[in-house]
Chains A and B, each alone.
Chain A
Amino acid sequence: MNLKIPFNNSKLPINYLLKNGSVIDPDKNTIEKKDVLIEGKIIKALKKNISVDEKKFKIIDCNNFFISPGIVDMRVNIGEPGFEHKETIKSACKAAASGGVTSIVCMPNTNPAIDQPAIIQSIQRKAREVSLSKVFCTGCITRGAKGNEICELQLMKEFGALGFTDGNKSVSNARVMRRALNYAKSFDGLIIQHAEEPELTQGGMVNEGEFATRMGLTGIPNYSEAMIIERDLWLVRDTKCRYHVSHISTKESVEIIRKAKKDGLPITCDTAPPYFILNELSLENYRTFSKLSPPLRTEEDRNNIINGILDGTIDVIVSDHTPHDQDAKRLPFNQAEFGGIGLETLLSMTLNLVKNNNLSLTKAIALITKNPSEILGLKTGKISPDSEADLIVFDLEKPWKINSESFHSKSKNSPFDGILVQGKNLMTFVRGRLVYKS
């Protein structure tokens, strides 16, 4: 397969020397000017003033740029199998590579759903053919994500499932959730929950409150998220299983998780850029690209999500990449699908917290590299000698306007379209190969 420039999926080994970049090490919490020597798949050396034979190494000057571990995005809908008109593994991998995401963790709500090992194998085989970013899978908690019977969790784990979730559905039955947590505990599995009480959110389109009332849209109560988390915490207290709440969006969720962490429960959580960049007002004029699940909330919620990121309550930032074709979004608001794409904006939006909210650069990078990698038990997400060379080179200052038409994702439904941002990925290395160069 031959992908056009700027992508490169050639298997030919090239060795690189990245000169003089500011290397961000989220493990050590440091930023230092260093050279990075990549030999084969591995970072061979990481120090100042490395000199090499210019014939054997391609030397890239990274002065003025930052070098960090590649991004691990733990919430991506890839669309394949089942929704190839929205996104394919190939287009998702291109979007990921250009956005600096070296590891994609895909959600199991494909069609058929990832509820058995064979589908994981099939996705991984295709990802190997595309050979850009790494692709990992999560498996369903329940068969077909229907919320009734537990899947073959251990078998799926053996075949590579990093965690278990019903994707964009909540496991609403407390008995099923309790069994899943209990069962996963026995093999140290990770249960990932999309927290939303379905009985309360039925028919809901946007955050309940003044805005929904004015627009004449059915509201989703803010606490429909918190009440599922609170319920699950009882189960986690009992089972002691590792539990991760995905894309939290409300003040209350942050408060509950902050307290649960203090109490020592094995809980982690993530949020996505829309929830700390936008609020419900971006739905003005019935803008369907901002119709997300969970819905965009109030400004107060947004500020509390930022506080949760700053104080470490929120462990991870995910893209929550949910591709939808035009036909699924150019509809009356009630009929349009939920979700927005995010692989190509995740880095810039995370860096926005550094620019506007005084988050340190190393912490920001940890939120999208080291932290998700540790939660998922991956070896990537770090930058150290002898580790696999999953790296990105980015410009922290470069200003650009988000134009979803220029994105590599097959779908263009970005809630950030038209926004001005700073910071852009320039190069992406996966296993030592330069897979993307802008």
Chain B
Amino acid sequence: MIEEKVFKNYPHKHLLGIEGLLPDSINYLINLSKKYANYLEDNNQKLDDLKNKTCINLFFENSTRTRTSFELAGKKLGADMLNISVGSSSIKKGETLIDTAMTLNAMQPDLIVVRHNDAGAVKLLSEKVNCGVINAGDGPHEHPTQALLDSLTILRRKKTISGLKVAICGDIMHSRVARSNIHLLNTLGAEVRVIGPATLIPKQIESMGVKVFYKMKEGLKDVDVIIMLRLQLERMSGSFVPSIREYFRYYGLNNEKLTYAQPDALVLHPGPMNRGVEIDSELADDLDRSAIFEQVQMGVAVRMACLKALVKDR
């Protein structure tokens, strides 16, 4: 068992998004994640924090890393993890989301982790179940555990978030990672910028507390952290941007563009990466500059913390 006396608790039933969370709640989750990260570095053994608890991974959208990460996190804590993915379920047979929620609820799980391709769908589902719900991504709305693991990674490298300049680059419009990160980094006191072509920057995003840049050179100036976002294939050719090569030329991150930032600037990417589209292959593999694989590692710790914080004793 890990000591928790330093921390109070996480005061909400669900984790549906970062928006609206107080710094205390965020810090609680990050600190608990740190503990688990430290534990994982030294130990290979499972914990029994969530022994006899059942968590359901309900994924309406394809996902490998997030689903696996939650599954692994649950197993490390001794919970029983169930995976349900859409391909093999009755959702394909026309069952509504609410019916699915009520059916799963009747099985009395201790927690449900949900990913859905529609914004707000996880919130809808959470209203129909008795247990806690973690949003593992709902459309372009939020992906809170990704933002938490990004912050944990930044904290490990930079010691603090307050006062850092962070640039989020690429397809802001369709990105739940961007939205959750904007909320989280702002709450913890960072200066957040978004950079991308105007077709991928949603209207009035400034009101979320960010500065908008359309040129990498200007946006990356003096930043401490760069978060690159994935550009979906179907948006690359002719719809939102004219072509891959044009996108890479102006918005792809390479060593040359990296020189605009602070000399020790850290590069993050939520994955999966499109090498040569948004990030230069060599840069992605540079372990001093890019923390992409550390993010994956932190992902497990963060999800352990979230599972632990949300599963309630019965």
Contact = CB atoms under 8 A, between A and B. Distances in A.
B216 to A, nearest CB: 22
A159 interface: no
Given A210-B204, A327-B96, A285 B138 contact: no
A40 interface: no
B269 interface: no
Interface string A197-216: 00000000000111011111
Contacts of A214: 19, 179, 207-208
B232 to A, nearest CB: 14
A209 B205 CA distance: 8
Contacts of B19: 214
A213 B120 contact: no
Contacts of B98: 330-331
Contacts, number: 68
Interface stretch (B46-54, B64-72, B139-147, B254-262): B139-147
Nearest to A333: B120
A332 B203 contact: no
Interface string A321-355: 00000010011111100000000000000000000
A216 B203 contact: no
Contacts of B176: 216
A286 interface: yes
Given A210-B203, A210-B207, A216-B176, A331 B119 contact: no
Contacts of A212: 202-203
A436 B140 CA distance: 48
A217 interface: yes
A99 interface: no
Nearest to B122: A332
Interface string B173-217: 000100100000000000000000000001111011000000000
A216 B124 contact: no
A144 interface: no
Contacts of B116: 332
A213 B183 CA distance: 13
Given A216-B138, A216-B176, A333 B204 contact: no
Interface string A360-377: 000000000000000000
Nearest to A222: B203
A382 to B, nearest CB: 46
A216 B139 contact: yes
A269 B278 CA distance: 49
B105 to A, nearest CB: 15
A150 B206 CA distance: 46
Chain A interface extent, by class? 10 to 19
Contacts of A332: 97, 116, 118-121, 124
B121 A216 contact: no
B179 A331 contact: no
A209 B97 CA distance: 28
A219 interface: yes
The residue among A217, A332, A334 with the most chain B CB atoms within 10 A of its own CB is A332
A285 B204 CA distance: 20
A209 B204 contact: yes
Interface string B136-162: 001111100000000000000000000
A219 B202 CA distance: 9
Interface string B89-107: 0000000111000000000
Contact of A334 (B139, B142, B205): B139
Nearest to A205: B119
Contact of B97 (A210, A216, A285, A331): A331
A271 to B, nearest CB: 24
A331 B202 CA distance: 25
Contact of A219 (B139, B141, B203, B208): B203
Nearest to A221: B203
B119 A334 contact: yes
Contacts of B208: 210, 213-214
Contacts of B35: none
A209 B203 contact: yes
Contacts of A219: 202-203
A334 B96 CA distance: 13
A432 to B, nearest CB: 47
Contacts of B140: 216-217
A208 B207 CA distance: 13
B118 A333 contact: yes
Given A285-B123, A332-B118, A333-B118, A216 B142 contact: yes
B187 to A, nearest CB: 15
Contacts of A331: 96-98, 124
B119 A333 contact: yes
A330 B203 contact: no
A213 B121 contact: no
Given A212-B202, A331-B97, A286 B207 contact: no
B119 A286 contact: yes
B120 A286 contact: yes
Contacts of A216: 119-120, 138-142, 176, 179
A397 B287 CA distance: 72
Residue among A210, A216, A285 with max Cβ neighbours from chain B (10 Å): A216
A165 B288 CA distance: 64
Interface string A240-273: 0000000000000000000000000000000000
Nearest to B125: A332
A327 B138 CA distance: 21
From A210, A213, A217, residue with most partner B Cβ within 10 Å? A213
Contacts of B120: 215-217, 285-286, 332-334
A86 to B, nearest CB: 17
B203 A208 contact: yes
B212 to A, nearest CB: 11
30 contacts: A208-B203, A209-B203, A210-B207, A213-B202, A213-B204, A213-B207, A214-B19, A214-B179, A215-B119, A215-B141, A216-B138, A216-B142, A216-B179, A217-B139, A217-B141, A219-B202, A219-B203, A286-B119, A286-B120, A286-B123, A331-B96, A331-B98, A331-B124, A332-B118, A332-B119, A332-B120, A332-B121, A333-B124, A334-B119, A335-B118
Given A213-B207, A214-B19, A214-B208, 8 more contacts: A210-B208, A216-B179, A219-B202, A286-B123, A332-B119, A333-B120, A334-B118, A334-B119
Interface of A: 208-210, 212-217, 219, 285-286, 327, 330-335
Q: Which 5 A-B pairs have the closest CB atoms?
A: A216-B141, A286-B120, A332-B118, A332-B121, A216-B140
